[in-house]
Amino acid sequence: MATSEASVTRIMVAVNESTIKGYPHASISSKGAFEWTLQKIVMSNTSGFKLLFLHVQVPDEDGFDDMDSIYASPEDFKSLKSRDRARGLRLLEFFVTRCHEIGVACEAWIKKGDPKEVICHEVKRIQPDLLVLGSRGLGPFRRVFVGTVSEFCVKHAECPVVTIKRRLDETPQDPVDD
């Protein structure tokens, strides 16, 4: 089994929620990166790969926006944390369920922090063979402010990185996201 395990290619896929629909909906770019991995790389060789889904939650500065009171008790904080966790898990469920259906081994976990820093840190810790990132394919103007996660990871992640840009014809008719 050791030999067989060694020959499995471990692909980390960083996934996030829809910027418009929010949790538990996965962003179009995350789904695009995932589908690309399945269709173009894994194909019928389901036993040859293991997918590692990382979801990084960004600590929310105004996390109390939709809570009843701004005077938060320690209990409020606790429920906020567990709500965040539940949302993240439901997001990951989409990808894990799909893998189970297809028969591809996978793992999934949540971390908190700055996505680009956390992704590179997790790459260092987990040492995948490939990191797959979705990207909105922003224009040069918006990219300066927004599209830095994939560029940062391409430069700094200690493993090969592939960025799956959304094609123009994949822009959603319904403005659901990302």
Residues that bind a copy of itself (CB under 8 A): 7, 9, 36, 40-41, 43-45, 48, 129-130, 154, 160-165
- 32 or 88, CB closer to a copy of itself? 32
| Closest separation in Å from C-beta 97 to a copy of itself | 23
Q: Which is nearer to a copy of itself, 46 or 82 (CB)?
A: 46
Nearest CA-CA partner of 105 in 154, 167, 53: 53
Q: How far is the CB of 91 from a copy of itself (least distance, A)?
A: 23
CB of 129 to a copy of itself, least distance (A): 5
Encoded tokens for 159: 């493993």
**Nearest distance, CB of residue 128 and a copy of itself, angstroms:** 10
| CB-nearer residue toward a copy of itself: 7 or 69 | 7
Q: What is the DSSP string of 45-99?
A: -GGGEEEEEEEEEPPPTTTTTTSS-SS--HHHHHHHHHHHHHHHHHHHHHHHHHH
In DSSP terms, which residues pair with 94 in a beta bridge?
none
Decide whether 90 or 143 has the Cβ nearer to a copy of itself.
Answer: 143
Alpha-carbon gap, residue 173 to 164, rounded angstroms: 20
Give the C-alpha distances (Å, rounded to integers) separating 167 from 44, 135, 163, 177: 25, 10, 12, 14
